[in-house]
Amino acid sequence: MARTFLEVVAAGGFVAAAARLHVTQSTVSARIRQLEQRLGCRLFVRNKTGASLTAAGSRFQRHAAAMLRLWEVARQEAALPAGHRALLRMGGEAGVWNRLLNRWIPWMRQNAPDIALRCDVGLPDGLLQRLQDGTLDLAVLYSPRALPGLSVHLLLEEELVLFRMPAGDGGGDAPYVHIDWGETFRRNISLQRPDAQSSPVSIGVGTLGLDFVKQCGGTGHFPRPLVQPLVDAGMGEILAEEHPLTLPIYAVYPDDADATVLDPAFEGLRAILAA
């Protein structure tokens, strides 16, 4: 019933929701009516254009989404592949996957083969919400907020350098490209380079930002290991800065997380970072 409720919200009406669910409109109506009876409140107001949420329906929406997520977790754990003792649900920002976690998955499969993995990419707030909901076990983020029930562990504080690469034709200026490395970086860069926020190009994933600079030329802040090979090859340069920046990477997990599952995950992260 929670899924039917959310489909009506997403579709904007009972008829459209029925089409999306491949059932009749009367079936959708019966499910919503039964849900309203159980909750003791009205969830929708029908109108000519479809259906809109009541105040009670708006309050129930977040819980319905959480119920579906928890159901998916239960389904995954019940269907744990043979030969696996546990399931680890890992999440990370896109930039973290490109830089770190894409190497972590092979490490886990080789060194902790009895732990099944479910891996997702997401935005920081969404990943933190899933950690609180219990539908995620571990997340790796650049600038996590401190929230009740969650532990935050600093994995690494990388050196950020100002990297410059000329345009392909070798001429022209190298405009600053704003790479969004998270809230802490945005706060620091706004103090050091007030013009950064008005950059004509802003890219939310560091490796994609570097691809752009390599193709079109430009200047941007990147972790040193990411650009050092280009500097060594004579393709770009690192510019000196009066106040160098750093990029911290954190692991976030519920306070009551299963240590027997998280410990191998942290061992793998440390191994990747030390490589």
Backbone angles phi, psi at 20, to 5 degrees: -70, -30
Domain that holds residue 34: 2-78
On whether both 223 and 170 belong to a single domain, the answer is yes
On whether both 269 and 151 belong to a single domain, the answer is yes
List, for residues 175-233, the tens digit of each pLDDT value: 899 988 888 888 888 888 877 767 788 888 888 899 999 999 999 999 998 899 999 99
The answer, as to whether pTM is greater than 0.75, is: no
Whole-number pLDDT of residue 183 = 81
Q: What is the CATH number of the domain that holds 206?
A: 3.40.190
pLDDT at 170 over 60: no
pLDDT at 77 over 80: no
From 53, 78, 103, give the residue that closes a domain.
78
The mean-pLDDT minimum among 72-76, 84-88, 112-116 falls in 72-76
Instruction: Please count the structural domains in the chain.
Output: 3
From 32, 57, 78, give the residue that closes a domain.
78
On whether both 224 and 213 belong to a single domain, the answer is yes
Q: What is the CATH number of the domain that holds 69?
A: 1.10.10.10
List, for residues 7-60, the tens digit of each pLDDT value: 898 888 898 889 888 899 999 999 999 999 989 999 998 887 788 899 999 998
Query: Is pLDDT larger for residue 143 or for residue 137?
Result: 137
On whether both 91 and 200 belong to a single domain, the answer is no
On whether both 215 and 240 belong to a single domain, the answer is yes
Rg of the Cα trace of the chain? 24
